[in-house]
Structure 1
Amino acid sequence: MKLGPLASVIAVVANVVASIIGLWILLYLLDANPDNALVDFSHDASRWLASWSHDLFTFDQEWARVVGGYGLAAVVYALIGNFAAARLRRY
């Protein structure tokens, strides 16, 4: 059984999820307009995707909490997704 296509789907999904969270971090750091639809979507999606890590850290600065919590989620999704895809490609 070829698992290459499944591995590709897993890698793409993991990278899209990490990109959405990364976009929210960037928009937050650039002080984007919270009433904008793209900003609202990226914030809502990132908050749901990173619900397990968005308030994990208690840095004094809010920007550091956003970068640390959401950044951790983005890195974890990218690493685990791409690792799983690489393992599936071997079979």
Structure 2
Amino acid sequence: MRGIDSVIRTIAHVLAGILAVWIVMDLLDANRANTLVDWFHTAADWLAAWSIGLFDVSQHTLQVLLDYGIPAVVYVVIADLVARRTVAR
């Protein structure tokens, strides 16, 4: 069962990575007309749909970090817990 926990963690890290890349792109004001930027924006919006607007702050940087950073952390933490339970069995 050692391989399953690695797969679970890898998937979570890829999802968190997509969110992290979008955070950087947004904060650096990447060109949203670019296809790659649009892909990351669409993927990040889908992954973070449940957390966008969870907290309402006036500063854009903090808003982006909360909207997309919270789900990135949650995905990694949940995947770690699930992977540990998988290995424990």
> Fold match, TM over 0.5?
yes
Please tell me whether residue 6 in structure 1 is matched to residue 4 in structure 2: yes
User: Please, what is the CA RMSD of the aligned residues?
Assistant: 1.1
| Distance in 1 (alpha carbons) for counterparts of 2:80 and 2:10 | 9
TM-score using structure 2 length:
0.92
Residues 48-87 of structure 1: pairs in structure 2 closer than 5 A:
48-87=46-85
Distance of 2:81 and 2:24 partners within structure 1:
25
Report the equivalent of 2:38: 40
2:20 maps to what in 1?
A: 22
Q: Helix, strand or coil: the match of 1:33?
A: coil
The AA in structure 2 aligned to 1:40 is: D
Q: Please list every run of at least 4 consecutive aligned residues from structure 1 whose deviation after the TM superposition is greater than 3 angstroms.
A: none
CA distance in 2, matches of 1:89, 1:11: 12
> Which stretch of the first structure deviates more once superposed, 43-52 or 31-40?
31-40
Following TM superposition, by how much is the alpha carbon of 1:27 offset from its aligned partner in structure 2, in angstroms? 0.5
**What are structure 2's unaligned runs of at least 5 residues?**
none
Q: Structure 2 CA distance, aligned partners of 1:28 and 1:81?
A: 26
Counterpart Cα distance in 2 of 1:17 and 1:9: 12
TM-score by length of 1: 0.90
CA displacement 1:38-83 (0-9 Å, x = unmatched)? 2111110010011000111100112211111110000000111122
Aligned residues, how many?
A: 89
> 1 CA distance for matches of 2:77 and 2:35?
29
Sequence identity of aligned pairs in percent? 43
